[in-house]
Chain A
Amino acid sequence: MADIKLMKGNEAFAEAAIRAGCDAYFGYPITPQSEVLEYLTAQEPHKRTGMIVLQAESEIAAINMVYGAAGTGKRVMTSSSGPGISLKQEGISYMAGSELPCLILNVMRGGPGLGTIQPSQSDYFQATRGGGHGDYYTPVLAPASVQEMADFVRLGFELAFKYRNPVVILSDGIIGQMMEKVELFPQQPRAVEFDQSWVTTGKTPDRERNIITSVDLDSARQERHNQDLQKKYQNMREHEVRFESINCDDADYIFIAFGSASRICQKSVKIAREKGIKVGLLRPVTLFPFPAKEIKKLSKQVKGMLCVELNAGQMIEDVRLAVENNTLVALHNRMGGMVPTPEEVYHALLQKFSIE
């Protein structure tokens, strides 16, 4: 029988972490994601699966605990929101540089600075452009439901280990806080046997010592390392693009939105269709790699595309690059924790493309 529960997005993520066989979580409280740490400590997963949960002294410490733990080859993760994610960037860059797998949840709130605790999507640039120093990318998954908050834990770990790279789940205050029904996948055992060829376990006589580092002062070697990393990111671009397409086949106009904004647009599509306007929704599920090919394809068959974002217009830059001027691209956005209604988005569509 299906295991269906009514849960907050943050709780579903935490429960899914235990069920996905996560070995360790290191976190620090920040609104609107504190339920992840609270749920995990309440569940006492060390009794359920042996999973370690530790509240660190800061986001910086938490991500460096993740860095150390990831070096042991185990499934490890952390979560935070904008201001805390900024603090974690150093650690994420180190993990990208030393090619360590891990899962990082960002339940976005409005910025800049301390900003607001209300939902926002303003960390899009930070997440999709690496975020920290140096040339690197991380796969970015954008959940649009409580169900995906749970499911993307498993997918996230899969990608993290497939590419030995940090994976970011870019959620927001709406998805993290709202309650929905979620079908939880069954408990998976924690991995007992896993690839230990590259991890820190203690050097045995049968192998060379394992070193986890991102530093190399030899420029030629460092360039080769960077070239290898770029190959890996190119591989992700070729194989990991995920998106959801709703009513796009016959559409004259397309909404492009991810996460919570895409949920609003789903309703706007219905309103428009009821009025006889052929509108579809393209929802990028992976923000890196971005579904540029699909958007380019659609751009040749529609009259206009409206990007709907809870930020100043960040994803629209990737959309414009993909569209290559094939069609009109417009933006409807709200900021600072404000969220548009489906009607507002519908009217924005009419206005931006002068639809009578």
Chain B
Amino acid sequence: MEKENLRLDEIIREENIVFHKTSLLTDKVFSYCPGCGHGVVHRVIMEIIEELGIQSDTIGISPVGCSVFAYDFMNIDMQQAAHGRAPAVATGIKRCWPEKYVFTYQGDGDLAAIGTSETIHACNRGENIAIFFINNGIYGMTGGQMAPTTLSGMKSSTTPYGRDTMLMGNPIKMTELVATLPGTYFVTRQAVHTALYVRKFKKAARMAFENQKLKKGLSFIEVVSNCNSGWKMSPLQANRWMEENMLAFYPPGDIKINGELIKKT
């Protein structure tokens, strides 16, 4: 026993630590369900801000939804927006502080339903901001109702027999839609359920912040995520279901880079 402890002491040394929690995440315990993607997305965005050294120049907008209290976890200046209005709020901030870094953090109900107008027009004006769009195909916080992104046939608390597209329309692909607007400079779809996807997302998130210096338009990063509690699945089941269904309809990958469409939408 004593021998083992000694060995651990030797291993756990500052020079051996390969993972640090970024100082830009507070010590507040996440309010998110175990297995939810929000925590990883929060961490990656905060890591990027730390690595770029732009904490003192960054302002984030938290939405309405599960991430309404993002400011409890992100150790940066933040403003909370009304449901769907984050791109307008970000526009107001960025126009007043054109040299600062401004990003919104929104869910699919927020961005693709009630805030569609604000989203499209901020993209169309080419506001030099970043939009992080967390798409789990459902309204998570209010208890799993149908979102515009809910897949055809997918069950939710307001489509208990599955989404009937004849009645409720088809799931909307906001990311492909905004990619067609000249005001968007970088449009991509990512995920965070495996280490490989997290690495790719981090690269995209870095680009979203670096692009703001160029003043060439808006960066739009969709993150396809799970909602295991809303989907009524275990975290593992949810990730598997997401891979098989969500990613099949919302394929990950870059759509527009440096203002050029690289993928047919």
Contact = CB atoms under 8 A, between A and B. Distances in A.
Interface of A: 23-24, 26, 52, 54, 56-58, 60-62, 64-72, 74, 76, 90-91, 94, 98, 200-205, 209-215
A276 B68 CA distance: 66
Contacts, number: 130
A202 B94 CA distance: 12
Interface in B2-41: none
A64 B69 CA distance: 19
Interface in B109-153: 117-118, 121
A25 B19 CA distance: 46
Contacts of A61: 85, 88, 91, 117-118, 121
Interface in B66-87: 68-69, 71, 74-82, 85
B93 A214 contact: no
B251 interface: no
Interface stretch (B55-63, B193-201, B208-216): B55-63
A65 B117 CA distance: 13
B91 A54 contact: yes
B92 A64 contact: yes
A90 B82 contact: yes
Contacts of B117: 57-58, 60-61
Contacts of B118: 57, 60-61, 64
Interface residue range, chain B: 35 or more
Contacts of B121: 56-57, 61
26 contacts: A56-B121, A61-B85, A61-B118, A64-B85, A64-B92, A66-B92, A68-B93, A69-B96, A72-B96, A76-B92, A76-B96, A98-B80, A200-B59, A200-B77, A200-B79, A203-B56, A203-B58, A203-B76, A203-B77, A209-B76, A209-B77, A211-B79, A211-B80, A213-B62, A213-B78, A213-B80
Given A52-B95, A72-B97, A212-B80, 14 more contacts: A23-B96, A57-B118, A60-B85, A65-B89, A65-B95, A67-B88, A68-B61, A69-B93, A71-B79, A209-B75, A210-B77, A213-B79, A213-B80, A215-B69
A212 B82 contact: no
User: Most B CB atoms within 10 A — which of A54, A91, A98, A213?
Assistant: A213
B48 interface: no
B56 A91 contact: no
Interface in B146-199: none
A46 B186 CA distance: 28
Contact of B77 (A24, A52, A201, A215): A201
B88 A64 contact: yes
Contacts of B61: 68
B202 interface: no
B150 to A, nearest CB: 25
Given A65-B89, A65-B91, A202-B77, A213 B71 contact: yes
B256 interface: no
A24 B95 contact: yes
A191 to B, nearest CB: 12
Contact of B56 (A57, A58, A204): A204
B160 to A, nearest CB: 28
Contact of A212 (B54, B75, B78): B78
A212 B96 CA distance: 16
Nearest to A26: B92
Given A65-B91, A202-B59, A202-B100, A211 B85 contact: no
Contacts of B82: 64, 67, 90-91, 94
Contacts of B76: 202-203, 209
B45 interface: no
A215 B90 contact: no
A211 B95 contact: no
9 closest A-B pairs by CB: A68-B92, A68-B89, A69-B92, A65-B92, A64-B88, A213-B80, A57-B121, A64-B85, A212-B79
Contacts of A98: 80
Contacts of A205: 56
A27 to B, nearest CB: 12
B96 A24 contact: yes
Contacts of A215: 68-69, 80
Contacts of B97: 72, 201
A60 B117 CA distance: 10
B79 A202 contact: no
Contacts of A65: 88-89, 91-92, 95
